């Protein structure tokens, strides 16, 4: 559930206006982009875009559940586990309690959990900023072996206690799920109800978010998606996390539409005071309180990503443009940053070439600029051609690649994507969530 920040043939055009930007957004192009990914088994999920707190675009694509040849198509009401995007909801509830005078940012952790490492030094602010030093309970704890088993609060507290502290509180920042698990427990103590009930009372009922709640075992009858990893030309079901172990760190189930309504309400000061939102937005070492900053060109945004199993989520708001978007997926075999970048380029009416269009047909001479040897500290790749086939060899394996667009190729079966920059002598090898930078050496 480790969160990673975002680095981040045209049909008859149907458009909607983002009037304050003086531009239009091409709905048909968004549809074509997402459909092209789904048709090639490269991604499935759901996207929502809003402007001025009004939903302007919704689309679900791919399947919510796969059982051999039987597939349940996703729809805009399909619910996804949103992983660490849960932390934004947790932070909002913490600030609601601060607004009500029931909590303060300088309150020490030992008020609630005196037996935890350095609890007498760790403040609520430290935990919100990931500056507590508490070790992440999902790391170095054999987490994959027990992720599908229920854990009580006491059992998880013991894990955190036993792992100790990674650094002195407030001396540095390091992302740790332990911070928000504990913040969720503090919400329960102060509200005297389980996290699920606090979430319902304080956020979802207020905003009429009928498809957002604390998750339980995946229930197909509730239109909840199942998570899949693509391998050997098939979507393979992932091991299901028992959400009791994540609480305020990552246990919420939602839809992109509900998530967009949530972040719009947050930035409209409907959930917490303006002064509290300002604190959430204040960054220390690129960490905010329950959110992160992200820059797309000259446009600034705030939000949070999430991953749990093979569920990915992205929730971002651009305050100056008053645009929000949320993207959830239960299966992805295409670089996530490329999906988000494509969506943003279309939304902001920037130049974006749809992948897999007719001009993707290659001639042998088109490949010459890619031929050569590329290397990094970890990887060496030899790029050759065989007629109109581009071949990449590394570690004794040869990949024949398909053109996506100019200078961009993929081998979908392996999950590798190859982006060439011939003018710079560079090759980027992309996976779903990782990018490797190689330089041309011959």
Q: How many CB atoms lie within 10 A of CB 147?
A: 18
10: in domain? no
Q: Is 183 left (phi over 0), alpha (psi -120 to 50) or beta?
A: alpha
Q: What is the pLDDT of residue 13?
A: 29
Could you tell me if residue 268 is inside a domain? yes
Q: Are residues 246 and 393 in the same domain?
A: no
In a domain, 244, yes or no: yes
Going from the C-alpha of 166 to that of each of 176, 307, 367, the distances in angstroms are: 10, 23, 49
What's the rounded Cα separation, in Å, for the pair 166 and 172?
Answer: 10
**Which of residues 316, 347, 378 is at a domain's end?**
347
pLDDT the model gives residue 185: 98
CATH number at residue 375: 2.40.128.50
- The CATH number covering residue 212 comes to 3.40.710.10
Tokens of 254: 């939602």
What are 55-101's pLDDT values in tens digits?
999 999 999 999 988 999 999 999 999 999 999 999 999 999 999 99
Shared domain for 210 and 259, answered yes or no, is: yes
User: What range defines the domain where residue 363 resides?
Assistant: 358-440
Looking at the DSSP bridge assignments, the partners of residue 389 are: 386
Q: Check residue 9 and give its pLDDT.
A: 26
Query: In the listed set 347, 380, 410, which residue is the last one of a domain according to the structure?
Result: 347
Residue 23 lies in a domain: no
Residues 245, 270, single domain; the answer is yes
Residues 320 and 430 in one domain: no
Confirm whether 419 is domain-assigned: yes
Same domain, 334 and 414: no
Task: Kindly state whether residues 121 and 255 are assigned to the same domain.
Answer: yes
311 and 165 in one domain? yes
What's the total number of domains in the chain? Answer: 2
Do 170 and 319 lie in one domain? The reply is yes
Q: pLDDT-based confidence at 22, cuts 50/70/90? A: very low
3-state secondary structure of 187: helix
Q: What is the pLDDT of residues 291-339, one digit of tens each?
A: 999 999 999 999 999 999 999 999 999 999 999 999 999 999 999 999 9
pLDDT tens digits, residue range 168-217? 999 999 999 999 999 999 999 999 999 999 999 999 999 999 999 999 99
283 and 372 in a single domain? The answer is no
If asked whether residues 128 and 194 sit together in one domain, one would say yes
Average pLDDT rounded to a whole number, residues 102-131: 98
Q: Which residues, listed in sequence order, are joined to residue 426 by a DSSP beta bridge? A: 421, 439
Do 317 and 394 lie in one domain? The reply is no
pTM: 0.92
Identify the domain boundary among 321, 347, 373: 347
Q: Is residue 71 part of a domain?
A: no
Judge whether 185 lies within some domain: yes
Burial classification of residue 362, based on how many CB atoms lie within 10 Å of its CB (0-12 exposed, 13-18 middle, 19 or more buried): middle
Residue 228: is it exposed, middle or buried by C-beta count within 10 angstroms (0-12/13-18/19+)?
A: buried
113 lies in the same domain as 193: yes
Is 144 a domain residue? yes
């Amino acid at each position: 559930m480790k969160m990673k920040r975002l680095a981040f043939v045209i049909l008859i055009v149907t458009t909607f206006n983002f009037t304050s930007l003086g531009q239009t957004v091409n709905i048909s192009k968004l549809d074509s982009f997402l459909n092209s990914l789904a048709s090639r088994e490269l991604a499935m999920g759901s996207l929502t875009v809003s402007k001025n707190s009004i939903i302007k675009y919704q689309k679900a694509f791919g399947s919510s559940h796969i059982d051999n040849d039987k597939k349940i198509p996703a729809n805009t009401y399909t619910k996804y586990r949103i992983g660490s995007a849960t932390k934004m909801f947790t932070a909002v509830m913490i600030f609601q309690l601060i607004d009500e005078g029931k909590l303060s940012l300088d309150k020490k952790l030992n008020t609630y959990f005196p037996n935890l490492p350095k609890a007498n030094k760790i403040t609520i602010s430290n935990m919100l900023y990931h500056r507590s030093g508490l070790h992440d309970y999902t790391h170095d704890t054999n987490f994959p072996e027990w992720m599908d088993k229920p854990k009580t609060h006491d059992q998880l507290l013991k894990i955190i206690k036993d792992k100790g502290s990674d650094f002195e509180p407030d001396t540095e920042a390091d992302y740790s799920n332990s911070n928000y698990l504990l913040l969720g427990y503090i919400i329960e103590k102060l509200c005297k109800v389980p996290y699920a009930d606090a979430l319902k009372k304080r956020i979802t009922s207020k905003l009429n978010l009928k498809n957002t709640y604390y998750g339980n075992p995946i229930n197909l009858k509730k239109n909840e998606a199942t998570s899949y990893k693509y391998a050997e030309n098939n979507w393979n079901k992932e091991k299901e996390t028992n959400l009791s172990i994540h609480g305020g760190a990552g246990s919420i189930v939602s839809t992109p539409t509900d998530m967009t309504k949530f972040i719009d309400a947050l930035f409209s000061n409907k959930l917490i005071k303006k002064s509290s939102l300002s604190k959430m937005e204040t960054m220390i070492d690129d960490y905010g309180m329950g959110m992160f900053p992200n820059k797309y060109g000259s446009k600034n945004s705030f939000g949070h990503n999430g991953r749990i199993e093979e569920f990915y989520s992205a929730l971002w708001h651009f305050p100056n443009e008053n645009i929000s978007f949320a993207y959830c997926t239960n299966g992805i075999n295409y670089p996530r940053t490329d999906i988000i970048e494509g969506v943003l380029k279309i939304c902001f009416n920037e130049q974006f070439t749809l992948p897999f269009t007719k001009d993707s047909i290659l001639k042998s001479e088109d490949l010459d600029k890619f031929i050569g040897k590329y290397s990094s500290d970890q990887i060496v790749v030899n790029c050759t051609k065989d007629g109109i086939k581009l071949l990449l060899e590394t570690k004794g394996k040869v990949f024949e690649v398909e053109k996506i667009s100019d200078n961009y190729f993929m081998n979908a079966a392996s999950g590798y994507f190859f982006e060439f920059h011939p003018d710079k002598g560079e090759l980027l090898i992309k996976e779903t969530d990782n990018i490797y930078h190689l330089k041309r050496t011959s």
